[in-house]
Amino acid sequence: MVMKNPDVEFCGYCITHPSESKINFRIQTRGALPAVEPFRKGLNDLMGVCQHVLSTFERSMKEFRAQKEEEMQ
Amino acid sequence: MAARRGTDEMRDRVVLGEFGVRNVHTTDFPGNYPGYEDAWDQRRFEEAFRVDVIREEGDTLEFDMVGIDAAIANAFRRILLAEVPTMAVEKVFVYNNTSIVQDEILAHRLGLIPIRADPRLFEYRNQGDQEGTEIDTLQFQLKIKCKRNPQAAKESSDPDELYFNHKVYSKHMTWVPLGNQTDLFPDADFRPVHDDILIALLRPGQEIDVLMHCVKGIGKDHAKFSPVATASYRLLPDITLLQPIEDEAAETLQKCFSPGVIEIQNINGKKVARVANARLDTFSREIFRHEGLKNLVRLARVRNHYIFSVESTGILPPDVLVSEAIKILMGKCQRFLNELDSVSME
């Protein structure tokens, strides 16, 4: 998500030690943009994606079940 | 034009070569391909995205997700396996166990039994809380004693005839309501999903008397809490014939793939091969063992078309599990946003 932002020059993560649950997440922007903005935008975009996936999935399930009902009758 | 087609292939397809797989990683980031619009656009995503449900039978669900990135599809799969909560037996209070099965083995087996209880009705138990309250614990009892059957025939050696209760099944587990659970859940029938799970074997004189506490947990903590038998996905196969293949070669080609993938048609008296349904193929790569045919076929997968297969253990129906997994991912994003806001306010 953050990689899809054209302002981001570098984005990566690494896990410091497998026994600790910590991730080092690095974002570098080109220009004067504060790096927190792409992070925030990425999270918001991801929420938007999940919301859309959820509604599309539930709609498809409803349609599938309605179609099966029709076939059975 | 050929260059454009080449980059399209690099962007959309994962190609299976003879000795390796090419174009595995997602490369469509802004700036990588001149002439392509790759920056994130919610509207473009929504136009291209679709979900098709293929099959729903009992506890199995097969559906397609088209137009989504690998990282997000994988995130859904991982959350389905490890982070959707369920109820399972955690603490076993052994009052009497004179059976052959050791206490800890019995407790381990009881923990793995799937319990039909909607985890969304319960809370997580607080850390360090030994007793358990009615909002986070379900109590079950297993009390069974094996007796000899006095009416059995003298020479019979069939244990079903000789003994009563010598097989301990999960149907012998009974729910013991705690506190006001009878009022909170008046219609609920909390029991194991399957009645015929064999827990232990007994002989006359042996008995098992245990009390079990079920709590809510996630698969990351212990695999017994995982709500899916398994959840997996595969990419849609894409088989292209680079040249027309006829006669004997067509017959060999059909045998190289799973049945139903290649269809042979009779055109002008000659047998011509055609790709009928690439979705059925399992990519055994048999084609690479035939020198004459291996350069005439391109095996690839469509990069953003995921065929999910979710099989539930029976606790929750599979479509509910997928919805819960998506909501959990949303919850995680929200938590990070809240953290960001609270840090930036300081």
| pLDDT reading at B208 higher than 90 | yes
Asked whether the predicted pLDDT for residue B313 surpasses 80, the reply is yes
Each residue's pLDDT tens digit, A53-73: 999 999 999 999 999 889 888
pLDDT value of position B318? 92
Residues 19-38 of A with CB under 8 A from B: 36
Rounded to an integer, what distance in angstroms lies between the CA atom of residue B144 and that of residue B166? Answer: 9
Summary mean pLDDT of chain A: 88
Look at residue B24 in the predicted model and tell me its pLDDT.
Answer: 83
Q: What is the mean pLDDT of chain B?
A: 87
**Strand pairing partners for B144?**
B208
Residue A2 distance to chain B (closest CA, Å): 9
Task: Return the higher-pLDDT residue of B37 and B142.
Answer: B142
Span B79-122, pLDDT tens digits: 999 999 999 999 999 999 999 999 999 999 999 999 998 898 88
B1 pLDDT more than 60: no
pLDDT at B288: 86
Mean pLDDT within B177-199: 87
Asked whether the beta carbons of residue B45 and residue A49 sit closer than 8 angstroms, the reply is: yes
Greatest Cα pair distance, chain A, in angstroms, is 64
Q: What is the DSSP letter of B246?
A: B
Quick: pLDDT tens for B287-302. Answer: 888 888 888 888 888 8
Distance CA B87, CA B315 (A): 9
Say whether residue A10 is in contact with chain B using an 8 A CB cutoff: no
Instruction: Round to whole Å and give the CA distance between B292 and B272.
Output: 16
Backbone φ, ψ for residue B103 (5° rounding): -55, -45
Do residue B329 and residue A46 have CB atoms under 8 angstroms apart?
yes
Q: What is the pLDDT of residue B65?
A: 92
C-alpha distance from residue A73 to each of A66, A69, A70, B19, B56 (Å): 11, 6, 5, 52, 18
Average pLDDT over residues B253-259: 84
Q: What is the pLDDT of residues B315-340, one digit of tens each?
A: 999 999 999 999 999 999 899 889 88
B241 has a pLDDT exceeding 90 = no
Is the CB of A40 inside 8 Å of chain B's CB atoms?
A: yes
B193 has pLDDT over 80:
yes
**What is the distance, to the nearest Å, from the Cα of residue B278 to the centroid of all Cα atoms in its chain?**
24
Residue range B191-216: average pLDDT? 92
Give the distance from residue A71's alpha carbon to the nearest chain B alpha carbon, in angstroms: 14
Q: Which residues in chain B are closer than 8 Å to A4, comparing Cβ atoms?
A: 29-30, 38-40
pLDDT band at residue B247, thresholds of 50, 70 and 90? confident
Please write the tens of the pLDDT for every residue from B174-183.
Answer: 999 888 888 8
CA distance to partner chain A, nearest, from residue B49 (Å): 8
Would the pLDDT of B344 be above 80?
no
Running DSSP on this structure, what letter comes out for residue B257? S
Which chain B residues touch A48 with a CB distance below 8 Å?
Answer: 42
pLDDT-based confidence at residue B141 (cuts at 50, 70, 90): very high
| Residue B346 pLDDT grade (very low, low, confident, very high; cuts 50, 70, 90) | low
Q: Quick check: helix, strand or coil at residue B267?
A: strand
- pLDDT of amino acid B144: 92
Per-residue confidence (pLDDT) for residue B4, from 0 to 100: 65
pLDDT value, residue B2: 61
DSSP string for A1-69: --TT-TTEEEEEEEES-TTS--EEEEEEESTT--THHHHHHHHHHHHHHHHHHHHHHHHHHHHHHHHHH
Least CB-CB distance to B337: which of A43, A52, A61?
A43
The least confident of A2-16, B8-22, B212-226, B308-322 is B8-22
- pLDDT for the residue numbered B86: 92
Note the pLDDT of residue B140: 92
Confidence of residue B3 (pLDDT cuts 50, 70, 90): low
The whole-number average pLDDT for the span B176-200 is 87
